[in-house]
């Protein structure tokens, strides 16, 4: 075997070792992500709750900073755009808050001590439930925030 053939063989071996190390590293990363999913969804739910509380405070400040309570844009015409906007914001934020609280609510889970398949299925069911609750809470939070922005722009633009 020539020196070039030996060099190519060594490079190919090194390349195989590098690919295996990279595959192992990627697998370890995904294993770590998977093992922390429950904590992630609980923290995401708590984060949504904190954000909703903050933005509800902003909404109430916008309502309360009027010259009188309730502000003029909330009384009078029953078909007022701003009134519907405030109701939509409240519904979005309060529903998001409820969904986030459901995602982190402690509950009993079925425990299958000797059946790994059933344990795996139960874990997947828990993760799916938490994922769904947090996703919907996040979407409703985003919709409420857009509605709050529209309300503030409407109040500034059309006093």
Do 78 and 142 lie in a common domain?
yes
Do 120 and 54 lie in a common domain?
yes
pLDDT band at 14; cut points 50, 70, 90: low
Do 77 and 137 lie in a common domain?
yes
CA distances from 25 to 18, 28, 33, 125, 127 (A): 10, 5, 12, 28, 24
**99, pLDDT greater than 70:** yes
Do 23 and 82 lie in a common domain?
no
Domain range for residue 82?
Answer: 37-157
- For the chain, percent helix, then strand, then coil, each to nearest 5? 80, 0, 20
For 135-151, the pLDDT digits (tens) are 999 999 999 999 988 98
Do 14 and 66 lie in a common domain?
no
Do 144 and 72 lie in a common domain?
yes
**Percent of the chain surpassing pLDDT 90:** 16
Say what the pLDDT of residue 11 is: 67
Q: From CA 88, how far away is CA 93, in angstroms rounded?
A: 8
Element (H, E) at 53: helix 37-64
Decide which of 93 and 108 is more confident: 93
Residue 147, number of CB atoms within 10 A of its CB:
21
Question: pTM of the full predicted structure?
Answer: 0.67
CB 156 within 8 A of CB 148: no
Do 125 and 142 lie in a common domain?
yes
Decide which of 68 and 111 is more confident: 111
Do 23 and 55 lie in a common domain?
no
For 19-69, the pLDDT digits (tens) are 777 767 767 776 777 788 778 888 888 888 888 888 888 877 776 665 565
Do 94 and 151 lie in a common domain?
yes
Do 30 and 81 lie in a common domain?
no
Do 91 and 112 lie in a common domain?
yes
Q: From CA 9, how far away is CA 85, in angstroms rounded?
A: 70
Residue 9, number of CB atoms within 10 A of its CB:
11
Is the backbone of residue 111 left (phi > 0), alpha (psi -120 to 50) or beta?
Answer: beta
**134, pLDDT greater than 80:** yes
Decide which of 24 and 101 is more confident: 101
């Amino acid at each position: 075997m020539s020196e070039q053939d030996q060099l190519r063989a060594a490079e190919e071996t090194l390349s195989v070792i590098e690919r295996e190390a990279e595959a192992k590293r990627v697998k370890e990363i995904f294993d770590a992500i998977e093992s922390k999913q429950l904590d992630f969804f609980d923290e995401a739910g708590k984060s949504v709750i904190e954000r909703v509380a903050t933005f509800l405070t902003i909404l109430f400040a916008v309502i309360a900073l009027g010259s009188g309570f309730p502000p003029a844009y909330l009384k009078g015409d029953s078909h007022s755009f701003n009134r519907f906007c405030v109701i939509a914001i409240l519904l979005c934020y309060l529903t998001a808050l409820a969904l986030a609280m459901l995602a982190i609510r402690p509950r009993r889970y079925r425990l299958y001590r000797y059946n790994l398949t059933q344990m795996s299925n139960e874990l997947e069911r828990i993760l799916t439930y938490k994922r769904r609750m947090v996703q919907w809470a996040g979407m409703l939070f985003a919709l409420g925030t857009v509605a709050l922005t529209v309300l503030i722009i409407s109040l500034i633009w059309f006093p």
